[in-house]
Amino acid sequence: MATTASLPAGIPETHPAVAIVAVRKPLQIISVPTEAPGVGEVLVHVLWTSSTPLDLHKADGGLLVTPGKPTVQGGSLAGTVAALGPEDPTLPDRRQLQVGDKVFGFAHRSEREAGFQTYLTTSAYMLSKLPPNLTLSQAVAVPTNLITAFHAITNDLGLALPWPVPATGWSPPPSVADKPILVWGAASSVGFYALQVFRHWGYRNVTAVASAKHHAELTKLGAAACFDYHSPDVAEQILAAASPEGSAAAEPRIPFILDCIGSRDGSLRPLTKIAERGSKVAVMLPVIDVHASADVLPEYEMDMSRVLAGEWDEGVELIGTRTHNFLNNTFFRDYLQTEIVPTLLEQGVIQPNRLRIVEGKTLLERAQNALGLLRERAPSGEKLVWRVADEE
């Protein structure tokens, strides 16, 4: 929302931002205008951000990047409220935010609210107030991937996550609570939060697929069984555990599958052996046909109908998870970041990822170092977070 309102005293008219200037080229710092918040908006002084595979897809694959135009990056933020615009009377205002409050969030609709810059302007409903039991660096690791888990579970798999959860707890109908759910890439950031969400909402039969070194932790997070994707017969192991030999197969043995990796050969090809007629398979987009490296250009696919065409059983429903569409759910728009996310964190229902702090002497160096770690596929069961503004 453009605004002609003036900035408060002490707020700079321009500020530094990390930008992609060309695909596969080093990131650069550019100067961008600091926008005063309009109706229902908040100006945030950004102190921390986190990196996701989407940052790599943009920088190395040109995904969602306009050629020839510098593109400011970043979908997550944590910082302090620098200014508040007038309240929007058409939306619930449950934040009670004040200038100076610590906030965090997932914002992605335009460069004015991108996280890799020292100030950003976004809608109040894109922010969570920091719970007292977390630091900003811990909190910034949460919203992008937790919101992705909520959206994929409800919108793509069609499973219920009612809010608020009654004091006595909520359980899905017995016919659903024990249905098998498979989370491939359960040690990824999305998988890490999906397991915790399933556990809290009473889904009891969740199988996790991840490297064996993560199995003990994933069991604590709610996985009923764990399998190692390195095993050459992992698909056969999973199906045998889901439906012992001789049992009836009127329904798919695993009706709900969440692929948190979205790799054509790494996750989807094994899943063609697991998904059966009636299975729903929600896949993180873009599907990675070829992974980026220092010497190799990435290749992506956004059309699920073209992913391993002819290798899936007839009747398998493939859904590409588009997290940014969570705002189409007006309840999630109004309450997911303002109420649900911070409440779950304050109550300890959701534990943040293990962090990997990316160091660097400057904003640009930290951003470039984080991108390099993504390119190397270095993170394993951890979230890359790094400092944006050096001053509080």
Domain coordinates of the chain in residue numbers? 14-142+352-387, 145-324
The separation between CA 134 and the C-alpha centre of its own chain, rounded to angstroms, equals 19
Helix or strand or coil: residue 76?
strand
- What does the pLDDT look like over 5-30, one tens digit per residue? 789 999 999 999 999 999 999 999 99
Look up residue 36 and give its amino acid.
A
CATH number belonging to the domain at 145-324, selected among 3.40.50.300, 2.60.260.20, 3.40.50.720, 3.30.590.20: 3.40.50.720
Distance from first CA to last CA of the chain, Å, rounded?
Answer: 27
Q: Under a CB-based contact definition with an 8 Å cutoff, are residues 252 and 262 in contact? A: no
Q: Model pTM?
A: 0.94
The reply to whether 14-142+352-387 and 145-324 are identical in fold is no
- What does the pLDDT look like over 143-158, one tens digit per residue? 999 999 999 999 999 9
Look up residue 225 and give its amino acid.
A
Query: With bands split at pLDDT 50, 70 and 90, how would you rate the model's confidence at 278?
Result: very high
Query: With bands split at pLDDT 50, 70 and 90, how would you rate the model's confidence at 168?
Result: confident
Helix or strand or coil: residue 106?
strand
The pLDDT of residue 94 is above 60: no
Instruction: Please report how the helices 189-200 and 143-151 are oriented relative to each other, as an axis angle in degrees rounded to 10.
Output: 60
Distance CA 77, CA 185 (A): 24
Instruction: Please report how the helices 363-375 and 53-61 are oriented relative to each other, as an axis angle in degrees rounded to 10.
Output: 90
- What does the pLDDT look like over 170-207, one tens digit per residue? 888 878 899 999 999 999 999 999 999 999 999 999 99
Within 103-214, where are the H helices? 136-139, 143-151, 174-177, 189-200
Helix or strand or coil: residue 345?
helix
Query: With bands split at pLDDT 50, 70 and 90, how would you rate the model's confidence at 93?
Result: low
Compute the radius of gyration of the chain from its Cα atoms.
21
- What does the pLDDT look like over 299-323, one tens digit per residue? 999 999 999 999 999 999 999 999 9
Distance CA 275, CA 270 (A): 9
CA nearest neighbour of 285 among 307, 269, 265, 270? 307
Neighbours of 333 (CB within 10 A): 16
Question: Residue 268 has what pLDDT?
Answer: 98
Place of tokens 């040109």: 62
Q: Under a CB-based contact definition with an 8 Å cutoff, are residues 239 and 275 in contact? A: no
Question: Residue 22 has what pLDDT?
Answer: 94
Angle at 52 between CA 58 and CA 93, to 5 degrees: 105
CATH number of 14-142+352-387: 3.90.180.10
- What does the pLDDT look like over 323-373, one tens digit per residue? 999 999 999 999 999 999 999 999 999 999 999 999 999 999 999 999 999
The two three-digit tokens of residue 273, written as one number: 């052996």
Distance CA 252, CA 245 (A): 14
Place of tokens 């707890």: 169
Question: Residue 95 has what pLDDT?
Answer: 55
Beta bridge pairs of residue 41: 123
The pLDDT of residue 4 is above 60: no
